[in-house]
Structure 1
Amino acid sequence: MKKSSEIGATILRIVLGITFFIHGLTKFQGGIGNTAGFFESLGLPGFSAYVVASIELIGGIALFLGIGTRIISILFALILVGAIVKVKFAAGFLGNGQSAGYEFDLALIAISIYLAIANKSLFALDNIIFRKKNHNSSD
């Protein structure tokens, strides 16, 4: 991977990590019980709000640090697909004046997919972990 591509992937990884961390934090700060109630109103089990918020919070930190980037990115993409299907699709791409559309979610899915298939990004702890693992296996 070229250095410029790694820099781009790093920027995307950090921004996506911060975005999801803040969304997860907001779910807990706003009262996770309220979020669970909203999930139930959508026909989803209430406990799934805890799962989603935890993935967003912990996954956001992990992505920021560059730990488990591929797995976390896939989980984020799945959460976003769920949000589009269950909440945002009915409002349309740009929204309907009462609720947001899915354009932002679609952009985050694209970033997530890119990070899931990208080789690596700079300053990611995965690079250190896998470099040591690969180095030791060649000894």
Structure 2
Amino acid sequence: MYDTIDARTAPYAALLLRVTLGIAFLAHAGLKIFVFTIPGTVGYFESIGYPGFFAYLVILAELGGGLALIAGAYTRLISLLLVPVMIGALLQHTANGWVFSAQGGGWEFPAMWTALLFVQAGLGNGAFALKLPVPSAFKTTAA
């Protein structure tokens, strides 16, 4: 009884995860834009050895990805496309230790976020998602 997926509640669990991830990505994009500023974020990326233009790509990914997740637009694809952003963050925090409260932030939070993106990709849209057509490159044919 307790070891099966409940088809009645699973879509709402996927919705909750999807919206939570989307809001978190928007919050991080806002932090980079309004608190650190875009030039400050570019400078920070350069100071840690990443090309400065990566800052623009990350901000765009966090903004666009966050909005797409909240809307439920291509959730599986968007979740997977956001994984490299989180792997980049994970790599930057690895030397700081496990706990995110460590100086410079540890790697527990980016690791969890990366895992949650894979979970979301596996779950799909969930409830209250936009009904968008599947791009032809992603269509499969029945055998």
Give the structure-1-normalised TM-score: 0.85
The change in CA–CA distance for 1:119 and 1:64 in structure 2 (over 3 A counts) is closer
Q: Does 1:67 align with 2:73?
A: yes
The 4+ residue runs of structure 1 with deviation greater than 3 A are none
Query: Structure 1 residue aligned with 2:59, among 53, 58, 61?
Result: 53
In structure 2, stretches of 5+ residues that fail to align are 135-143
**Cα deviations by residue, 1:89-123 (Å, 9 ceiling, x for unpaired):** 00111147321111111221121001112243000
Distance 1:119 1:24 in 2: 23
**What is the number of residues matched between the two proteins?**
129
Aligned twin of 2:97:
92
Give the CA deviation at 1:22. Answer: 0.9
In structure 1, stretches of 5+ residues that fail to align are 132-139
CA contact (8 A) 2:42 2:55 kept: yes
Aligned twin of 1:5:
10
Distance 2:105 2:133 in 1: 40
Give the structure-2-normalised TM-score: 0.82
The change in CA–CA distance for 1:116 and 1:26 in structure 2 (over 3 A counts) is same
Root-mean-square deviation (CA), in Å?
1.9
Aligned twin of 1:104:
109
The change in CA–CA distance for 1:28 and 1:93 in structure 2 (over 3 A counts) is same
Q: Aligned residues: percent identity?
A: 37
Distance 2:57 2:101 in 1: 29
Give 1 or 2: higher helix fraction. Answer: 1
